[in-house]
Structure 1
Amino acid sequence: MISVKASGRAKKLLKERVAFFLQRITRYLLKPDWDNFQPGYADRRIYVGCGKKRLGGYVHCDVRSLPGVEIVCQAWDLDRYVQGAQEVYSRHMLEHLQFAKVEEFLSAAYRSLKMGGSVKVIVPDMDYHINQWQAAVWRSKQLNNNRSNARHACAGFWGWQGEKPDDAPFWDTHKSGFNAASLRYFLGKAGFSKIVTNAQDGHLTATAIKFVGCGRQVVAHQDDARGDHQGRYLWAAREMGKRKRVLDLACGVGYGSAILREHGDVEYILGVDLDHQAIEHAREFFAAEGVEFRCGDIAKITETADAIISFETIEHLVAPKPFLRRSRELLDETDSMLLVSTPNQLSMPFIPERYPFHQRHYTPDEFRSLLAECGFKVLDICSQPDRFDERVENNEEGLFLLAKAVPQPFLPENDLLGVQKEIPCPRMKNKIDAITAYGKAPTAYGKAPYFEVAAQNLQTVSLERIRKDLGASFRLRDVFDVGLKQVDEAISYYMAKYKEDHHYLMATLKILNFRMKAAIKISKFINYLKIRNPDLIILWNGLRLNEQCVSQAAKKLNIPVLYMENGLLPNTTTLDPRGVNYLNSVPREKSFFESIQEQEDRAEFPELVPRAPLEGKKAGNEIELPSQYIFVPFQVEDDSQIVLFSPLVKKMDELVDITVECVEPNQSLALVFKEHPTSPIDYTQLRERYRGNDYVIFANGNSTQSLIDGARAVITINSTVGLEAALLGKPVITLGQAFYSIPGIAHHVENKSELKNILDCDLKSLVDDSLRSKFFHYLHSEYSVQGMWRKPTIEHWKSLEQKIVELYESASSQS
């Protein structure tokens, strides 16, 4: 056996190799930990490739685990560890990397910096060393003198090469080289702006600023733009032909305008973008004769053009229609053209986590309809099949859709899209960023979901719909972070419903199933809301499972929620921070309304809009009614108003039996029932059971308002029919939990005995006209949003916006 004693240098090398290997294990074998790893070092200065050098005030980073090195990683992995840094500094490190790794490192440095952060790199100046090389005297003596031109030039090109034969990798050997122009190119390609270079005594120093935010493609030369981006502008240059004036709207950093100028027949191009930093970058790298860049809003542009280009813009807009309509106004009336693009929803489905800067994607039909609605006739739609390919194909199947359109007359002003007007509301400094989950939300004008129309008309509120596809945001372990209390609150309706309707074991299994569904949905919505981080959530109704899960997720993240529903009064809408129907925030104390001051000029009560008679299987002929009767409207048995807020009556059969039992001794009163128009239950047997009773009448063919008008009183569980009856001054008795069960407005009874007793009293004494006047004035003037979703007006949008801002500011002040 032969023993070989390892040298000290070999031991050191082995130690470094083991450390490097262990680092790789941590990075790859324990990769799931990266999901939870939080980068740090915000507002710090990072010295990358520090080796054994130490600088005060810097966090030191190197590939080797040396004393004083706080971040051990490859230079191109810097952004894994660092986010929001003030400066990234590198001295004579870049030349030791291959050019591909140089690009990776500078891109990682860009991502590591905060907005406005800087990078500073020092490298050998190749121009200086080239001159040294040409002036060198090639002799052995010169090559052994580190200060000679020959030796110094060799070091500048290939490094000092001070490694020993057993060193690996060759750490003192150069793999790349730079002069001012090439270093400026690499920094610009990584996204940096305001690049300044300074060459002195063979050292080239470059400083640059991270000036344009992530989410944009930032390059310093048009050839470095991604293939599909170049392809779109090359396609535009071919399609638009000879043009005098072209607007490039949302031009970004300007490489597209440069492509148009170089490859198209255009006299003048104006690139416009809202981001002043992007415009600064465009002016630095792409300014040329006939190309101007301007920072501003499209609304402030006054010059017209004979062609407008806007690529990959509308998917970033919550409301793209005002943008497209303004584009239409800026086009010349004759021989003008719009060229626009967007991701194809059929080939590139929208997933918020994957496209955090997008609002939505469009199918070809949606894209075509959107342009038509905004005043354009679509001549052709083609597509791009690949992100890195310039090809544009004559089909609608690719990843990106490109449309060529010409102006046509706007749609009539009474059309859905004609609702868009300038609303004289005071603009806030920052818009309220709200998202909505509307599922079965109503349809304005019968053409588009209400919230889509609202998004076009609200000035201070930015609305976006919660996406259905949340699968990418779901991780099984997140479910265990959702508390059982949250889950049970989300499924409270189903727990109450199945405990009433099913055998114990069946109810338990169904509730368990809903608990699992709710836990998964809540965890998905929590992850989604963390990414979107909205100021506010608006839910229609809010009692369905999806809306309840959104509400619970928002509660966990302290995001305010507003609930919308049909208004409590004719031609109004409800917007409430607590909920709808019985859950609303209308005060329940009689003293609150008594404290309201009487006003002589108080507006009259709103006129009650008659309801249309029932149709279909529940409809019947209008019948003549007795002079003295009590009206009892049915409700839908599986509605939340019954399931959650009616402990006494769960079935309409029970409603009939209870009221008949309590009223029958009083032979001077009849009971008139009307079935609910949307109830799926057939009450034929119930009607047959009471056919011989002259005091029990079913009037399904009569209008609800006429039944209220002729009634001596109204008995309801908790229906809004009771509120309408109180509005008309009728005595109202509630059997369930109703928000308007306030003495003087409506009288609540807990059981049959109380109902019998109240029916023996003077029913007119149940009504307090003064209190009723104050109550409905509060509902109409203070609580409700004026107008409703069926046909929203400008006044409705103004009232809605004012209420949203008011409730949002109130919630913000309380949090």
Structure 2
Amino acid sequence: MKYHVLLDNIERSNVFYRMFLSLKDDEFVFYTLKPSIYFYFKYYLKVSNIFIIESETEDESANIDCNNDIHVLIGRASNKLSISMYKKIRYYLLKNAQYTSEDIAVVFNGCQTAARAFYDFFRDNNIKTLSCEISNLPGKMIFDPKGVNAQSLLFNNIDILNDFKSVLSEQQHEDWINLYEEYKSYPIPQSKIKYKYAIFAIVDALLYYFNRGIKEEDGGLIQKSKLFFNKIIGSKKNISLGSICNLDIKYSFFPTQVSTDTQILINSDVDNFQAIEMMCNESRDSEIYVKIHPAEQNKDIILKYLYLEKQGKITLCKNNTTELIKNASKVYTINSTVGLEALIYNKPLTVYGRAIYSKMVNAKDIRDFIHGYLVDIDYYGANKVDESVFDKLHKIASHNGKI
């Protein structure tokens, strides 16, 4: 059995490489559209089973529309470019991929065009598939055979948790909550700017001019450099947004989500500002505390939050998120992990988007999800992954959704 893995991002590639280190070399086959990742894995990490997806020919039998893919939604790629990329990936895999019925194909998130093409190809050939995502819980990732978030098998049938029951005692769960609170006391890793990832992106932008890899976005080198510069400026400004708020008064709490996040664009019918408006209408008897996501980079979006505060509609806070949740009279969210944390602390919760945890009806569901269904892989870790997780991955990939 082999794992066929699409590497679409150098940061995400790290977790897959650590999984690869836990098994034999021939049990992982890596694919990427990015020349930088190919050269890094092939010549620096000395991984032999990695292939760069390159094709000028398209699979014309593929009938696809990409308007709802994340890069199109956020304006980084046109529908035309994405359709062409999808068909080129399909053609490359059709001519080059070697697999058996026991194999598993893995993508991260699955909302990007490249991931969809990869995922669809293997699924169409009756190969088990897994989409994965960070869970924002310490040492945990989510894997699902149908997709992540609202596209997942679990979202559509929460009773699947009965096949993944937690074996932790109540005390062990409480110990885990204490670990979670310690984890949350530090800045979330997504908000950290990593310069080496920018270098990889710039290398790719240069090599695309020499027809290496398949271009995923319309922008070139200048646009890539500008995007990274804006991230640096935005990340520094976000640190000082808001004030330390009084947690002893009655307030409702709303954590914003990154405006370009798939959770907002694909898994919700409302954006941050629509959610805040509904929240204000429902919480007229309490203060409205809002915390801006540290990874938000859109200056116009941030200015809108500041304008709402100036109008007196909201108060921007920079308190510890866990403390904001624990002391709130009610928590509102679109589909942030904060919603799951609110349930962990048994806080009243309103969910405006589509979130897996919105289907959970009791504390047992929450414990089974965290300690039974989620996979024990630390996305931000440095060590190789424990071999025991592969049994769970196979169990999840093989699940048919029936109980």
Same fold? TM cut 0.5: yes
**Matches of 1:594 and 1:564, distance apart in 2:** 20
Alignment of 1:2-41 (within 5 A): none
State the percentage of identical aligned residues: 18
**Kindly tell me: are residues 688 and 807 of structure 1, through their superposed partners in 2, closer, same or farther at Cα, counting changes over 3 Å?**
closer
In structure 1, the residue matched to 2:39 is: none
Q: Which residue of 2 aligns with 1:437?
A: 6
The verdict on how the C-alpha distance between 1:466 and 1:532 changes in structure 2, with shifts beyond 3 A counting, is: farther
* Matched AA of 2:259: E
1:624 aligns with 2:245: yes
Deviation at 1:450, TM superposition (A): 2.3
Gaps of 5+ in 2: 34-51, 192-234
The match for 2:394 is: 805
- The 1-side partners of 2:342 and 2:288 are apart by 16
Equivalent-residue separation in structure 2 for 1:808 and 1:542 (angstroms): 15
Counterparts of 1:95-494 in structure 2 under 5 Å? 432-440=1-9, 442=11, 449-458=14-23, 462-468=27-33, 469-471=52-54, 475-476=57-58, 479-482=59-62, 484=63, 487-488=64-65, 492-494=68-70
For residue 541 of structure 1, the aligned residue among 87, 109, 117 is: 109
Question: What displacement does 1:453 show?
Answer: 2.5
Going from structure 1 to structure 2, the CA distance change for 1:595 and 1:730 (only over 3 Å counts) comes to farther
Query: Cα distance 1:672–1:491, how it changes in 2: closer, same or farther (>3 A)?
Result: same
Q: Does the Cα contact within 8 Å between 2:251 and 2:328 map onto a contact in 1?
A: yes
2:303 to 684, 691, 711: 684
Gaps of 5+ in 1: 1-431, 502-506, 745-770
TM-score, normalised by the number of residues in structure 2 = 0.70
Q: Which has the larger radius of gyration?
A: 1
1:569 equivalent to 2:137? Answer: yes
Q: Distance in 2 between matches of 1:452 and 1:600?
A: 29
Aligned CA distance change for structure 1 residues 589 and 808 (closer, same or farther; 3 Å):
closer
Tell me the TM-score normalised to structure 1 length: 0.36
* Partner of residue 228, structure 1: none
Residue among 159, 184, 190 paired with 1:610? 184
Aligned partners of 2:368, 2:342: CA distance in 1, in Å? Answer: 17
Letter in structure 1 aligned against 2:315: I
Distance 1:598 1:555 in 2: 30
| CA–CA separation in structure 1 for the residues paired with 2:71 and 2:383 | 40
Shift in CA distance, 673/725, structure 1 to aligned 2, threshold 3 Å = same
**Alignment RMSD:** 3.5
Give the deviation of 1:782 after TM superposition: 2.2
| Separation (CA, whole Å) in 1 of partners of 2:275 and 2:282 | 11
Q: Secondary structure at the match of 1:623?
A: coil
**2:367 aligned residue:** 777
Q: Secondary structure at the match of 1:736?
A: coil
Query: SS of the counterpart of 2:310?
Result: coil
Aligned residues: 327
Residue 634 of structure 1 and its aligned partner are, at CA, apart by 0.7
Amino acid at match of 2:9: K
Residue of 617, 622, 644 corresponding to 2:266: 644
Question: What's the secondary structure of 2:114's corresponding residue?
Answer: helix
Task: Say which SS state the counterpart of residue 437 (structure 1) adopts.
Answer: strand
What is the CA–CA distance in structure 1 between the aligned matches of 2:104 and 2:287, rounded to whole Å?
Answer: 50
Answer 1 or 2: higher relative contact order, Cα 8 Å, separation at least 6. Answer: 2
The answer to whether the 8 Å contact 1:787/1:793 transfers is no
Amino acid at match of 1:631: F
- 1:703 equivalent in structure 2: 320
CA-to-partner distance for each residue in 1:434-481, whole Å, 9 max, x for gaps?
1211222536xxxx8222232121259811211433335x534xx222
TM-aligned CA deviation for residue 808 of structure 1: 5.0
Q: Deviation string for 1:466-503 (max 9, x for gaps)?
A: 1433335x534xx2221x2xx23x653259837xx8xx
* Aligned equivalent of 1:321: none
Give distance in 2, aligned partners of 1:592 and 1:556.
Answer: 24
Higher helix content, 1 or 2: 2
- Identify if the C-alpha distance between structure 1 residues 598 and 540 changes in structure 2 by more than 3 Å, giving closer, same or farther: closer
Aligned AA (1:624): C
User: 2:61, 2:4 → 1: CA distance?
Assistant: 24
Offset at residue 527 of structure 1 (A):
2.5
CA distance in 1, matches of 2:164, 2:78: 48
Q: For 2:25 and 2:370, locate their aligned partners in 1 and report how far apart those are by CA, in whole Å.
A: 24
SS in 1 for 2:107: strand
Question: Given the superposition, is the C-alpha separation of residues 546 and 727 from structure 1 closer, same or farther in structure 2, using an over 3 Å criterion?
Answer: same
Distance 1:593 1:466 in 2: 32
Aligned-partner Cα distance in 2 for 1:703–1:711: 12
Q: Matched residues in 1 for 2:334 and 2:243: separation? A: 24
Which residue of the partner structure matches residue 342 of structure 2?
725
Alpha-carbon distance between aligned partners in 2 of 1:495 and 1:600, rounded to the nearest angstrom: 40
Q: 1:434, 1:461 within 8 Å by CA — same for their partners in 2?
A: no
| Structure 1 pair 628–542 and aligned structure 2 pair: CA distance change class (3 A) | same
Letter in 2 for 1:804: L
Taking structure 1 as reference, are residues 601 and 460 closer, same or farther at Cα in structure 2, changes over 3 Å only?
farther
Secondary structure of 1:778's counterpart equals: helix
- CA contact 1:442–1:789 (8 Å) conserved in 2: no
Contact in 2 for aligned 1:568/1:574 (Cα 8 Å)? no
| Whole-Å separation in 1 of the counterparts to 2:397 and 2:157 | 25
